[in-house]
Homo-oligomer: A and B are copies of this chain.
Amino acid sequence: MNDVDATLAALADPTRRKVIDLLRDGPRPAGELAQAVQMSPPALSRHLRVLRAGGLVQAEAGGEDARLRLYTLRPEPFTALQAWLDQVQAFWAEQLGSFKDHVERGR
């Protein structure tokens, strides 16, 4: 199981994907994320652990209040996934020469 598998496994859950979308607006503490996805703090904590294990997010110690753990997005897994996607899409790039065939087959 390579990196991309771990990334896709982490992104497979709708709750975790929603967390990713929430973090696009900036770092947030765990509790705020739990409230946003309507889930108990322990349940979300497990999801955050999966996201951390996959390297998709990281927790920073919030400077002002040491009880808060601010979660932030990490770029590496996403760029790796995009690289794999580019490889897959090369499949159709190769067929550009016989583009009509592909369109007909796609119907």
Q: How many residues of A contact B (CB 8 A)?
A: 31
Who on chain B is nearest to A2 by CB?
Answer: B14
Kindly list chain B residues whose C-beta atoms are within 8 Å of the C-beta of A5: 14, 17
Kindly list chain B residues whose C-beta atoms are within 8 Å of the C-beta of A20: 88
Q: Using known A-B contacts A24-B87, A24-B88, determine if residue A11 contacts B14 with beta carbons closer than 8 Å.
A: no
Majority DSSP secondary structure for residues of A touching B: helix
Kindly list chain B residues whose C-beta atoms are within 8 Å of the C-beta of A24: 87-88, 90-91
Q: Which of B9, B72, B78 contacts A85 (CB 8 A)?
A: B78
Q: Are A75 and B60 in contact (CB under 8 A)?
A: no
Kindly list chain B residues whose C-beta atoms are within 8 Å of the C-beta of A60: 105
Interchain residue pairs A-B with the least CB separation, the first 10: A12-B12, A8-B11, A24-B91, A8-B12, A9-B12, A82-B85, A5-B14, A75-B92, A73-B91, A78-B88
Q: Does A49 contact B (CB under 8 A)?
A: no
